[in-house]
Structure 1
Amino acid sequence: MKLFTFKAPSSSGNGVHVGALDATGSTAVSFTRASRGDARFASMLALVRAGSAILDEAQSILDSHPADAAYDLAEVTLLAPLPDPPRFRDCSLFIEHLAPAFLGMARTLAAAAEDPDAEYERLVATGDFGRPAVFAERVIYYNADHLSVSGPGDEIVAPPDTHHVDYELEIAAVVGTTGRNLTAADAGAAIFGYTIFNDWSCRDLQTEVMASRLGPARGKDFDGANTVGPWIVTADELGDPYQLKMSARVNGETWSDGSSASIEHTFEDAVAYLSRGRTIHAGELLGSGTVLSGSPIEIGKRLKDGDEVELEVEGIGVLRNRLRLSR
């Protein structure tokens, strides 16, 4: 199923619903309305926490829903499918992106120098902009702000202290099981579904604060910085998440092309690692990190005010947003 959170048309009360696409792909079926007050369908987080068995009930509703629970997809407003995850961690599961991204950050830092090329060479020679070996050895992650989740169609307004914002083309997994010490074999069953993730990044701020060696911090921390959507595709429907074409377009022009087949660590690896001696919770979001070529800083391009960014992942869909930079 493709599950999403949406606002119904104003003529229908404009309430927030949890639902899914019907077989035609053009109708949004509201589980919230069809279930007549069942708390398990009150929000996406409640649905995920209800466990995998609820998907059978959801499918039954989808197959035979009351007429007042159906809406034309073109008339509803899609929101972030999981707007209130209890935790959000972005993992470096793709690692090929890191080397060109770090070099791109060195180039950005050197741009203000009197001789940018010489300063770039000096920065690279320090060794601070290489990819540390630890990224290949284990799942590296940082805690993203679970209170700054945005959704499809939202305008992304950059904070006033940045003038260099990038998209990052990622997949995010939704954890469906609360557990501890899950093995890699168990971890597959613990993944509820997948969505697209745009990890908006203020490169000028990120380059400055990463000199602290404490992570991206303010460089990836602003209202709406974590965009997910347009929906969650359940694991059983998506199939193999490691054979998906991934692309990004800016104003209709393709800037990024990649494949999830290039992943270094799987989501199962991440679940097993994150639950080792610790509790992982149903409803958590786990970002994949950026696929190779999946960000403008790698390819010498730069977003400008008003650009429309579309991230597309095969089998999931298209996540579309417009960027606003301070003038």
Structure 2
Amino acid sequence: MRIARWVQQGLVSDGFVVDDHVVAFPGGVTVADVLAGGLAAALELGASAHAADGIPLTEVSLLAPLVPASIRDFVAFEEHVEGVTASIDGVREVVPEWYEYPTFYFTNPHTVLATDDVVSPPVTERLDFELEVGAVIGGVPGRDGANLTAADAAEHIFGYLVFNDWSARDVQGREMKVRLGPCKGKDFGTTLGPWIVTADEFASLHDDEGFLPLGMDVAVNGEPVGRDLLSNMGWPFAELVAYASRNSRVVPGDVLGSGTAGHGGCLAELWGRRGELSPPPLATGDEVVMRVEGIGEIRNVVGPTASVPPIPPARIRPRLRERP
């Protein structure tokens, strides 16, 4: 089952995608309501949705399929880490700490983009994409999202979407030298979409450890750049959710990114392996298309650099301890 948000003639609607039509939820129900109610209730609601009651997809513009409560982005592909560290730090390695626990950062839920949106990047000479899958958290009646086991965490996964973590690599590299970030190198845009595909669609595809062998690929201006399997993650999604909930909580509407696929899931990985900016960084007018098996396709065009007011450099202060 696919769940989406869309706009038609200025009116925003939430509902199902059935065949090649969108069918609005009844009674003003929203995606947030459906996520909070959990997967079983959503499937029951979807059983009464029929394409004949909807609007052709060609007559609407898709929005991001949810307004996220939060976005955590993991770095779960060993091959990506191996290549991208050489691009950022000049050394190709996977540090031992990567293998101990999953690692993630929080990115900006307020700059989410939809498929077909134009990306407005910051001033950067190394604009990049990141091919990922996101897991969307839903409610489980009678159960909190704190300190979950992997088995319990799997029940909180409502569905999946395609996830593009846009990145300004030169900005990211500067930030991470200060032992923080990535922050401003990332928070200008994250594409989520084109819709949420509910977790039941993939139930028979999980292997014995919970990994999903879904094909993922990305192309720039029609030229293939990267291809990988989602099952090459170091941890399955249920374990990522369990780790995120440790001494914390996951709640309906949270999105957890897999991290960037290997084998060309981003340009920085290729730059690190090749020792040169090949393929070149993204530029104005470039189109990035990502496809994930069983989920769908997102596409965005890079727009012009955003115009922003300047910030001066730090002032060296006298470090007084008393007011003069």
TM-score bucket of the superposed structures, by smaller chain: 0.7 to 0.9
Q: How does 1:35-74 map to 2 (within 5 A)?
A: 35-37=26-28, 41=29, 43-63=30-50, 69-74=53-58
Give the aligned partner of residue 116 of structure 1: none
Letter in 1 for 2:198: T
1:189 aligns with 2:155: yes
TM-score using structure 2 length:
0.84
Q: 1:124-168, CA deviations, whole angstroms, 9 ceiling, x for partnerless residues?
A: 4xxxx6332211110100011111111111000112x22321000
1:255 to partner: Cα distance: 0.6
Instruction: Give the whole-Å Cα distance in 2 for the aligned partners of 1:103 and 1:51.
Output: 42
Q: Deviations over 1:78-120 (max 9, x none)?
A: 00001x21111001122220111111234xxxxxxxxxxxxxx
Equivalent in the alignment of 1:111: none
Contact 2:16 2:46 in 1 (8 A): no
- What is the correspondence of 1:62-211 to structure 2 with a 5 Å cutoff? 62-63=49-50, 69-82=53-66, 84-106=67-89, 123-124=90-91, 130-159=93-122, 161-177=123-139, 178-211=144-177
Instruction: Provide the secondary structure at the position in 1 that maps to 2:175.
Output: helix
CA offset digits 1:261-311 (Å, max 9, x no partner)? 211011111111121222211110000000102001222312221001001
Consecutive unaligned residues in structure 1, runs of 5 or more: 107-122
Report the secondary structure of 2:33's partner residue: helix
Determine helix, strand or coil for the equivalent of 2:27.
Answer: coil
Tell me the amino acid that sits aligned with residue 104 of structure 1.
S
Correspondence for 1:117: none
Counterparts of 2:98 and 2:32, CA distance in 1: 31
Percent of aligned pairs sharing the same letter: 38
SS of equivalent residue, structure 1 residue 268: helix
SS of 1:96's partner is helix
Output aligned runs, 1:225-304, within 5 Å.
Answer: 225-239=189-203, 240=205, 242-292=212-262, 293-299=264-270, 300-301=278-279, 302-304=281-283
Residues in 1 aligned to 2:86 and 2:75: alpha-carbon distance in whole angstroms = 17
Mapped contact 1:164–1:303 kept (Cα < 8 A): yes
CA distance in 2, matches of 1:52, 1:326: 40
Unaligned 5+ segments in structure 2 are 206-210, 271-277, 307-324
Whole-angstrom distance in 2 between the partners of 1:290 and 1:310: 15
Partner AA of 1:5 in structure 2: R
Q: Comparing both structures, which one devotes a greater share of its residues to helix?
A: 1
RMSD (Å) for aligned C-alpha atoms: 1.7
Offset at residue 58 of structure 1 (A): 2.2
**Which residue identity does 1:171 align to in structure 2?**
V
Aligned length: 287
- What letter matches 1:7 in structure 2? V
Question: What TM-score does the superposition give when structure 1 sets the normalisation length?
Answer: 0.83
Which residue, 25, 28, 31 being the options, matches 2:22? Answer: 28
